[in-house]
Structure 1
């Protein structure tokens, strides 16, 4: 089975979600099902069916998280020497060569990606274009508007 790369923070968040699902959400759903059963006929009991559906989603997510955590490879860039090279887990500041627009991204695992927080998946076109490059390198990245040139101005191992 292929290892799933994840940052330290990403693993912590997944483990916290797993604990929440097992200790808070699962018991609440079981209680909801028991309460809905007391309302009588299960065929026409919307609360019962909704709770059973929620239980299915909850159990599915628990299994998904446990599978990921069993195959996780936690990569902690803070313990690595910063040689200026872009690798998984680094925070990279790039500047658009044409517009001078500057943006900073952290390269993370698929589960951690959140473009609103500038967390990009290691499998995204931007990350794939940056990985292996170094400070002052110019890269061309395919975007929906065509290829765009960027210069790497900072690589942080934080």
Structure 2
């Protein structure tokens, strides 16, 4: 009986330790970049900040070795209706001529697939509304990402909520 409990405990422990692709990630506070959230990012991630015509802040968190490239676009919100904010992002994504399908959808975000010939490229959008600003998290356009890579980035920004 003891052996059975030991085996079950070990099995549960191993399942609990299953990797979600974010091993080695740490908390990264983006407040100093005018983005009032904390996400998770690889230890080696570098942050680059720019401003687009004084209208939008563009913060990119990049770690090529870890296949991690997240871009945050921050601007004044046009509405405080989260469903509408997400619907706008869905429309932008669906308007891409290579759009194939929505892989996963949640109230604040989604993962999608684009397909060019036979090559699948995955991406995501995750929206946070805070104060009078909206923050759109997305994969940056620095590469073609697999579904597991995009899922790891998506989960790392969901940590912000």
| Same fold (TM > 0.5) | no
Which is richer in strand?
2
Q: Of the two structures, which has the highest relative contact order with CA contacts closer than 8 Å and spacing of 6 or more?
A: 1
Structure (1 or 2) with the larger CA radius of gyration: 1
Which is richer in helix?
1
What's the TM-score once normalised by structure 2's chain length? 0.26
